[in-house]
Amino acid sequence: MVMEPQNGDIAVSLSASVASAMACLLPLASVSQQPYLSELLSFTLDRLHKEPELLRVDTERIQRQMLEVAVGNYRAFISAADALVAIKEEVSSINKHLESMITVIPNLKSGCTECVRNGNYDEALDLEAFVCRLSTLHPKLPVIQALAAEVRQTTPSLLSQLLQKLRSNIQECLASMKCDCG
């Protein structure tokens, strides 16, 4: 006597074959997909047939909710977009200033050395005072502190040359200080 399979047996058999096919896919699923795939494996065949429609209904519901949130919070989106534009402009401005500082900072040290070498003591003192102010204003910036240390290395040479000038005649001394007294 041959037993004919009943509908329930076919469903179980199909469900088992789907489950084994899905089990092969599970290792390929991402961690976030594992729970859903495990849930799918536990569904009956009828429930699996309904799943695409249920997913479509969920998708439509979520899209409606997203639209409601977007409409309800459009001012926040506009403010965020405006803030993003302002931040981009500010970053661009800062970037331009940084690029100019990259070219100017190395010139300060060499400019101070050059002023001392050429006898432009007023300019050398002005540069040294400027770098000293920068160092005071930005004590935590290594670039500024390194610049200040380099400029301080020119100070002994500057003082030595100024003292030599002071030992010479007073007219030369006044001329080197750019003082017109006569």
Are 77 and 70 in contact by the 8 Å Cβ rule? The answer is yes
Domain range annotation of the chain: 7-72, 91-176
Residue 25 in tokens:
């896919």
What pTM value is reported for the model?
0.45
pLDDT tens for the chain, 182 residues long, are 444 555 555 555 555 565 555 555 556 667 888 888 889 889 999 999 999 999 999 999 999 999 999 999 999 999 999 999 999 999 999 988 888 887 887 777 788 888 888 888 888 888 889 889 988 998 998 888 888 888 888 888 888 888 887 777 777 666 666 654 44
Q: What angle do CA 126, 142, 137 make, to 5 degrees?
A: 50
CA distance 46 to 50: 6
Residue 142 in tokens:
């290594």
Q: What angle do CA 124, 127, 132 make, to 5 degrees?
A: 125
